[in-house]
Amino acid sequence: MMWLWIAGGLGLLLIVILMSKVRIRASFNRQDTNDDLIVDVSALFGCIRFRYSMPVFEFKGMKEGLELKTEQVNANAGHLLGDQRKRITIDKIKSAFHDVQQLLQHCFHFHEWLKAALTHVHCDRLVWKTSIGLDDAPHTAISVGTLWGLKTSLLGYVFRYVRLETEPKLQVMPYFNQMRFEMEAVVEAYVRFAVVMKAGILLLTRIVKVKDGWKTWRDILMRSAKRAA
């Protein structure tokens, strides 16, 4: 009888874990020349929390590329896991593009998997505010209209798959006769832990369906991890 109670308790615990939410919060803020990107991930009712921060974007020129400062934080313990300065150059972008092409070619219908996975993502907060100004007032007005069109088109495409559970807060504010560009964006979304596990298993099965799929994915991901270390 004791074993039945233990098995029942473990089964109930497993169900609770599988039905728990993995929450993601991403925020980007640009004020003057300062950029700040923060991504927070929490799972298992907040027992697992992780923060990825990118507080510095610095463009060094076409040859030297874009320099990024990144920080990884263990939100539970409240201490810094590590910080790095990375430089994104044209050569690195070309190499990354080639790696992505190889990954897509060695996965059976990756786009179908991605679309199916996104249908289980729920967005429950979306704020996207932009301020833009040019020296010429008519050009500012045109840029405001263009931004509105880009925002609505992009979000319309994304929310064909992602489930929107809130009213988006969108804003485009003009600043006439002055050069200015500022942006604030906050996105909060969640997905069930069971869905994450299922999506991972389905992705793995699609990878092994393709000849040399597992080897290609393993080699590219390991190489990318070494670059990031």
pLDDT tens-digit series, residues 101-123 = 999 999 999 999 999 999 999 99
* 6: Cβ contacts below 8 Å, ≥ 6 apart: none
CB 86 within 8 A of CB 65: no
**Residue 148: how many other CB atoms lie within 10 Å:** 14
Nearest to 181 by CA among 138, 143, 142, 137: 143
Q: Which residues pair with 188 in a beta bridge?
A: 25, 125
Question: What is the rounded average pLDDT of the residues 147-171?
Answer: 90
| pLDDT tens per residue, range 126-147 | 999 998 888 778 888 888 888 8
Question: What is the rounded average pLDDT of the residues 146-161?
Answer: 90
Q: Is residue 217 part of a domain?
A: yes
Its domain, for residue 214, covers: 91-120+204-229
pLDDT at position 67:
59
Please tell me the distance from the alpha carbon of residue 200 to that of residue 222, in angstroms, as a whole number: 18
pLDDT at position 121:
94
Q: Is residue 214 part of a domain?
A: yes
Count of domains forming the chain: 1
**Residue 123: how many other CB atoms lie within 10 Å:** 19
Q: Is residue 111 part of a domain?
A: yes
Task: Provide the strand spans (E) within the chain.
Answer: 21-31, 34-43, 48-59, 66-74, 79-88, 122-133, 163-164, 169-174, 180-192
Q: What is the token pair recorded at 4?
A: 């039945």
Q: Is residue 57 part of a domain?
A: no
Please tell me the distance from the alpha carbon of residue 157 to that of residue 145, in angstroms, as a whole number: 19
Q: Is residue 85 part of a domain?
A: no
Give the chain's count of helices (H) and strands (E). 6, 9
Q: Is residue 107 part of a domain?
A: yes
pLDDT at position 2:
67
120 compared with 30, residue with greater pLDDT? 120
Q: Is residue 208 part of a domain?
A: yes
Q: Is residue 175 part of a domain?
A: no
Element (H, E) at 93: helix 90-105
Please tell me the distance from the alpha carbon of residue 85 to that of residue 71, in angstroms, as a whole number: 9
